[in-house]
Amino acid sequence: MVAQLRRLGFAGELSLWETGRGPGGRASTRRSRRDDQLVIDHGAPLLNLTGSPDPALLAPLLAGGWIAPWQGPVAMLEGESRLNIGRPDSLGLGQLFVGCGGMDRLSEGLLQLVGEAGVALHYGTLVRHLARQPQGPWQLFDADRQLLGEADWLVLSGTLLAHPRSGWIFGWPEVPLVQAAAPLGDLQLEHGLTTLAGIRFEARSNLLLVFAGEAARAWRALPFALVNFDAAAQQRWGLRRLRIQPLADGRCAVVAHSSDAFAADHLDVVGSRSAVARLLQLPQEPGREQTVIQALGEAVVQSLAPWISGLDLAQAAPQLMRWGAAFPLPPGLPRALTLCATSQVGFCGDYVAGPGFGRIEGAMRSAEGLAAALVAAAGLRSG
């Protein structure tokens, strides 16, 4: 959104608040301060474009070397153990792209495209409360009600502040934007918030593995870099996808994405190294986490046994990453409700209905659409 606003000529101030330590959201990359070769795409492994024309931001991202076309071999595990090499799933259709050096490079690239006018970045900051005085700016507050910042326009690129799931995750008694919107009397915003509240999400429990030595060589030699599981295989193994990600130093990361059903059954186990665990300062429950890690690990070993054997997962530093709201389910928020001019609120993200819904493509297209609508409707070009 910020990149496209700048490209359309907006010269005013832009600020971005992000609870994560860096950019990327669900298309981010796990990195290690102690091990700079460790780069694991623990959320979206690829960007796939099925609509046309291409998003306007695609060409500059490619030209800047932030992303590149991906032609890795894919396969579909059908039923228990029939491998159909070359068959993609719905996330593998169309043009495929990967972040150069990690999927978070896509978001880094977008921030670079903002150019010299810049954007003030506030990472590691959870926005907890929102308020808007009549005719005044939007105000953002942290959990202690300390003012984080003020802005004329508020754009939500995630649903957390506008969806009742914030209550289920964090125990917040109210939905922050619903509370802030109540005194504003903006019927369009209220309509949007009611629609947003009805969006449901699929979850994923992801197992992260890093192999070295002989095991890494075996993974890297497989005739597929992305294995999708069809409906029968998902039911059999509790897995949806396996991404094999060779690392620059010869190691090999493997990320096993659970099926929606598996994640739903283990929703309370978030993974001790996840952002939610950090934010909620959750007490560690190593027993429960180990059970989930073991179940996913056994599924990886057994489902791939015909192609790779002798795997010792204990040597692969297994970690769990749970995505509670991995994929929004259709129909999503209609485009017509994404710009609320009266209250000066905008919505963008993969939860907005339209081409690419539920994927990075949808997030890009809705952000580009909102940027154009903001510039046209609100005259933001003058800054």
Ligand X SMILES: Cc1cc2nc3c(=O)[nH]c(=O)nc-3n(C[C@H](O)[C@H](O)[C@H](O)COP(=O)(O)OP(=O)(O)OC[C@H]3O[C@@H](n4cnc5c(N)ncnc54)[C@H](O)[C@@H]3O)c2cc1C
Q: Which residues bind ligand X (CB under 6 A)?
A: 17-20, 25-27, 43-48, 91, 126-127, 157-158, 160-161, 204, 206, 257, 323, 326, 349-350, 358-361, 363
Least Å distance, CB 161 to ligand X, is 5
Please identify, using beta-carbon distances, which residue of 75 and 215 lies nearer to ligand X: 75
Please identify, using beta-carbon distances, which residue of 109 and 215 lies nearer to ligand X: 109
What is the Cα–Cα distance from 311 to 254, expressed in whole angstroms? 12
CA atoms within 13 A on the CB side of 73: 9
Residue nearest to ligand X (CB): 25
Q: Residue 26: what residue type?
A: R
Least Å distance, CB 108 to ligand X, is 13
Least Å distance, CB 16 to ligand X, is 9
Residue 221: count other Cβ atoms within 10 Å of its Cβ: 10
> 119-149 burial, b for 16+ CB within 10 Å, e for fewer?
bebeeebbbbbbbbeeeeebbbbeeeeeebb
Please identify, using beta-carbon distances, which residue of 335 and 381 lies nearer to ligand X: 335
Please identify, using beta-carbon distances, which residue of 162 and 313 lies nearer to ligand X: 162
Chain centroid to Cα 199, Å, comes to 16
What is the Cα–Cα distance from 91 to 99, expressed in whole angstroms? 16
**Which residue is associated with the tokens 């008694």?**
173
- What is the β-pairing status of strands 39-40 and 74-78? unpaired
Please identify, using beta-carbon distances, which residue of 48 and 344 lies nearer to ligand X: 48
Least Å distance, CB 98 to ligand X, is 10
Least Å distance, CB 160 to ligand X, is 4
